[in-house]
Amino acid sequence: MRRLFGTDGVRGVANEFLTPELALSLASASVHELAADERPLVYVGRDPRPSGELLESAVVAGVLAAGGDVVRLGVIPTPAVALAVARGAAAEPAGALGVMISASHNPMPDNGIKLFGPGGGKVPDEVEDRIEARLGDGGARPTGAGVGRVRADLGGRTDWYVDALTSTVDVDLRGLRVVVDCANGAAAQVGPAAYRAAGADVTVLNDDLSGYRINDNCGATHLDVLRAAVVAAGADVGLAHDGDADRCLAVDATGAAVDGDQILAVLALELKERGRLAHDAVAVTVMSNLGFRQAMTAHGIAVEETAVGDRYVLERMVARGLSLGGEQSGHTILRDLAPTGDGVLTGLHLLARMASTGRSLADLAAVMQRLPQALVNVVVADNQGALETTRELAAAVEAELRGAGRVLVRPSGTEPLLRVMVEAPTQEAADTAAERIAAAVRG
């Protein structure tokens, strides 16, 4: 039977797979598993999807039924929930927990539940497994004064979070013209407010908070509209967030995309210059471009590699005491400033680097040269079995690249797919090698 939790919480079609009954049970099980003996305080946030209202009610009910208290944060980015947990933990006898209701970059009919444990970090795999094992158990049901209460409803208030973001930037962004694509999601209020508060001249795209158009051909997974808008406006930079605003990708003044690897490279050099790059190392996933690794080596920065998923990056950062990590997809973790990846925080610090150096984003991003990359998804009946059959061929193809490229074959964690990724000196070479391996899998 497939594991309920994926690489980032529980996710599926709302009211079909992710039902209010499942949401309530997950919330209660999480309180029983994560909380100390005393009643915890649970911060609950959501993105603007219509199903978020349904699932928020179920999550709140589940927490209260398990004896936890609730603060409703309303529509707000995922990293704001993590920050609220981190701030609230010190003041609460039983600590604080967090639940974010969002399917991130997925289409509108989907929704998801992400859990944050004490301190604001995402919950490890083994703890998720224990929570899943508790589903249907019910646990202790307090009565009378033991039933949880809703302590506060902050829905519609984001000023506390905007203030927290802008307090981390000590550079005036006046003079920078920025176009921000909010993906019709949780960044719609916070993103523009934070960039303007820091001094930037901001043009906003896709800030519809109805929830019906979240991630619909916009945001971090669809950069074409942002690229055109930046060029048309003569802006200095474009920033794109996803539905729950834990990602940030960028576009330079020419309309060229700047991905998470490039953003991470820019911030790594900035932190190293200031003596704030802990252990002169950065954590990334196996999907990060070989060009990133080459650039870091050239600047004396070590690279720690993890499995795909920002939670695994964060786990490595905590274990090694690192201050910076992230993913090619746009998750960037500035651990000295936030307990998890934060798209708007990333955008602010990228803009601050431009402002403090007077350099364009294209110039800063040129610190690394991306190797052409090909990615082919192959439908398979048995992920692990298919992986085993490709090991020798994948190793042979990588050997043929003679250190000028890389091959990565990995099973999907959520679908019956084998993902074949090849990096090579040319796009043609990458495409040819990837298709060669994919054909062997199909055959």
Domain coordinates in residue numbering, the chain? 10-157, 160-254, 260-341, 373-442
Strands 417-423 and 406-411: antiparallel
Mean of the per-residue pLDDT values for the chain?
A: 93
For the record, the structure tokens of 141 come out as 């049901």
Q: What is the CATH number of domain 10-157?
A: 3.40.120.10
DSSP letters, 135-177, are TTT------GGGS--EEEE-TT--HHHHHHHHTT--S--TT-E
Predicted local distance difference test score (pLDDT) of residue 241: 98
pLDDT at 207 over 90: yes
pLDDT one-digit tens code per residue, 128-165: 999 999 998 867 889 999 999 999 999 879 999 999 99
pLDDT one-digit tens code per residue, 275-291: 999 999 999 999 899 99
Rounded Cα distance between 171 and 351, Å, is: 9
pLDDT at 225 over 90: yes
For the chain, percent of residues with pLDDT exceeding 90: 82
pLDDT at 404 over 90: no
Nearest to 321 by CA among 348, 302, 295, 307: 302
Indicate the Cα dihedral angle 375, 102, 250, 267, nearest 10°: -100
pLDDT at 13 over 90: yes
Predicted local distance difference test score (pLDDT) of residue 8: 86
Predicted local distance difference test score (pLDDT) of residue 155: 84
Full-model pTM: 0.92
Rounded Cα distance between 90 and 84, Å, is: 11
Domain 260-341 has CATH 3.40.120.10: yes
Identify the band that residue 261 occupies on the pLDDT scale cut at 50, 70 and 90.
very high
Nearest to 66 by CA among 97, 87, 90: 97
C-alpha distance from residue 240 to each of 161, 194, 201, 256, 431 (Å): 19, 14, 16, 13, 27
For the record, the structure tokens of 53 come out as 């209202």
For the record, the structure tokens of 313 come out as 């990056």
Among the ranges 74-78, 387-391, 397-401, which has the highest mean pLDDT value? 74-78
Q: What fold, for 373-442? A: TATA-Binding Protein (3.30.310)
Identify the band that residue 3 occupies on the pLDDT scale cut at 50, 70 and 90.
confident
Domain 160-254 has CATH 3.40.120.10: yes
pLDDT at 41 over 70: yes
Catalytic residue among 102, 104, 288, 323: 104
Lowest mean pLDDT among 108-117, 220-229, 337-346, 402-411: 402-411
**CB count, 10 Å around CB of 76?**
32
Q: Is 323 a catalytic residue?
A: no
**CB count, 10 Å around CB of 319?**
10
Question: Hey, do 10-157 and 373-442 end up sharing a CATH topology, with the first three levels equal?
Answer: no
424 CA to centre of own chain: 27
pLDDT at 1 over 60: no
Predicted local distance difference test score (pLDDT) of residue 443: 79
Predicted local distance difference test score (pLDDT) of residue 413: 65
C-alpha distance from residue 311 to each of 8, 127, 202, 239 (Å): 8, 13, 31, 23
Where are the extended beta strands (E) located within 345-400?
A: 373-379
Rounded Cα distance between 381 and 432, Å, is: 24
Strands 150-153 and 110-116: unpaired
- 186: number of CA atoms within 13 Å, CB side? 35
Specify the DSSP element, H or E, that contains 181: strand 177-181
